[in-house]
Amino acid sequence: MNYREAADLIQIAEPLLADETALREAFRHASKTLHPDAGGDADQFSLLQQAQRLFLRPGERLRSWLEVHQLAGDVRGSLSNDLMDRFIHVAEMVQRAQSLAKESDACRSTLAKALLEKRRNQIREEIATFQADLTTLVSQRCELFPAIADGKINPASAWQTVRDLLFLEKWQAQLREEFARTF
């Protein structure tokens, strides 16, 4: 499914410029008629779900928009400089969380697990703080969408934004997983 097909399905003229709330509302509205339990077609509902996965991930939304507008670029490449330090930080945080999970799994007594609670809470707090930082970075990249759509940002920089967003979204997912694992 490409950008235009997805936009037509949810009846939003320019999803690139829509905020997440507007997109979620459009999906909710479309699902009322397309859901099989509401008399809709299962294939159309499946397409709606594909459109939702496309548009609710800013990196994929921008990537699809660039492709449909035939602005050549590549999702492979380096990260922006401001993300390189965070890359290392994410890796270290994930490693510490996984190490704690292994340690906790190896504990045989409730007391041993309780002794890990302070470290568990520290890791949870670090992950939550870093998640907030990543959310801010995603928002900052999304603020570039109107300038990209207006042609004020060149395609190479737009593709850099895609790469950054894809990494940010990946990191957010990894950290959500590690946060859940610490419980």
| Residue pLDDT, tens place only, 59-83 | 999 999 999 999 989 989 889 998 9
What local confidence, expressed as pLDDT, does residue 23 receive?
Answer: 94
The band of 85, judged by pLDDT with boundaries at 50, 70 and 90, is confident
Q: What is the pLDDT of residues 114-153, one digit of tens each?
A: 999 999 999 999 999 999 999 999 999 999 999 999 999 9
The CA-atom distances, in angstroms, between 125 and each of 30, 108, 134, 178, 181 are 38, 26, 14, 12, 14
What local confidence, expressed as pLDDT, does residue 138 receive?
Answer: 97
| Mean local confidence (pLDDT), 12-17 | 92
CA 55 to chain centre: 10
- How large a percentage of the chain has pLDDT more than 90? 85
Q: Give yes or no for a contact between 161 and 141, defined as CB atoms under 8 angstroms apart.
A: yes
Phi and psi angles of residue 71, each rounded to the nearest 5 degrees, phi first: -100, 100
**Does the predicted model carry a pTM greater than 0.85?**
yes
Alpha helices in 56-116 (DSSP H): 58-68, 81-106, 110-115
What local confidence, expressed as pLDDT, does residue 152 receive?
Answer: 97
Domains and CATH numbers, the chain: 3-56 (1.10.287.110), 81-181 (no CATH)
Distance CA 11, CA 3 (A): 12
What local confidence, expressed as pLDDT, does residue 95 receive?
Answer: 95
The band of 1, judged by pLDDT with boundaries at 50, 70 and 90, is confident
- How large a percentage of the chain has pLDDT more than 70? 100
Average pLDDT, the chain: 93
- In this model, does residue 183 exceed pLDDT 80? no
What local confidence, expressed as pLDDT, does residue 2 receive?
Answer: 86
